[in-house]
């Protein structure tokens, strides 16, 4: 791994001790749909610490025309430091441009920015947040067995719980009193 793949994150809010979230990478063969059979998952501690995940496309995957990354299997907040795609020889073929978030295909996910350092916090607005990397045709034409999708991120679902609790309190304070 090269140094740029492991950037330093700001100190995030801690999660609950022992809490783990499942992250999952799906790959889609040409003409097929995304499926559990064509996926790999990793459990990640929701402790606010930086975790590095590597998903290797297996030999049986055949040609792949799209990827989908689910950063959590529940309502969660994640600070994404980096996402990269490397070919079987380890050459960097694609890296995530977090500044282009608005033009990217995120589903059931919202964004807020942490300005010091400037990194995005992704907040799941549903139970199944998804990211579909916009890979150039020059890469999808070669994408297949042995390619590695790497992610460096910190998960802290407690942040989401605190935000929702604050929202509920604000709504209750604004609700008209019962007569």
42 vs 96, residue with greater confidence = 42
Report residue 146's pLDDT band, with 50, 70 and 90 as the boundaries: very high
How far apart are the C-alpha atoms of 57 and 114, rounded to whole Å?
A: 32
What pLDDT shows up at residue 2? 43
40 neighbors 48 (Cβ within 8 angstroms): no
Out of 56-60, 92-96, 129-133, 163-167, pick the least confident.
Answer: 163-167
What pLDDT shows up at residue 135? 87
Give the mean pLDDT of the chain.
78
What pLDDT shows up at residue 128? 75
pTM for this entry: 0.74
What strands, in cross-sheet order, belong to the sheet with 105-107? 39-45, 20-29, 64-70, 130-132, 105-107
Mean local confidence (pLDDT), 59-69: 91
According to DSSP, the residues that pair with 84 across neighbouring strands are 95, 150
Mean local confidence (pLDDT), 75-88: 85
């Amino acid at each position: 791994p090269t140094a740029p793949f492991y950037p330093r994150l700001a100190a995030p809010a801690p999660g609950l001790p022992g809490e783990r979230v499942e992250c999952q990478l799906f790959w889609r063969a040409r003409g097929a749909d995304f499926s559990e059979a064509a996926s790999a998952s990793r459990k990640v501690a929701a402790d606010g610490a930086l975790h590095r995940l590597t998903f290797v496309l297996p030999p049986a995957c055949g040609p792949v025309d799209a990827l989908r990354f689910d950063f959590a299997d529940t309502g969660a907040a994640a600070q994404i430091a980096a996402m990269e795609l490397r070919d079987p020889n380890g050459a960097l073929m694609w890296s995530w441009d977090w500044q282009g978030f608005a033009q990217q295909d995120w589903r059931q996910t919202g964004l807020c920015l942490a300005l010091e350092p400037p990194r995005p916090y992704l907040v799941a607005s549903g139970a199944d947040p998804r990211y579909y990397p916009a890979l150039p045709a020059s890469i999808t034409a070669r994408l297949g067995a042995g390619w590695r999708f790497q992610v460096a991120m910190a998960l802290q679902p407690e942040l989401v719980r605190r935000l929702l609790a604050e929202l509920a309190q604000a709504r209750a304070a604004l609700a008209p009193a019962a007569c």
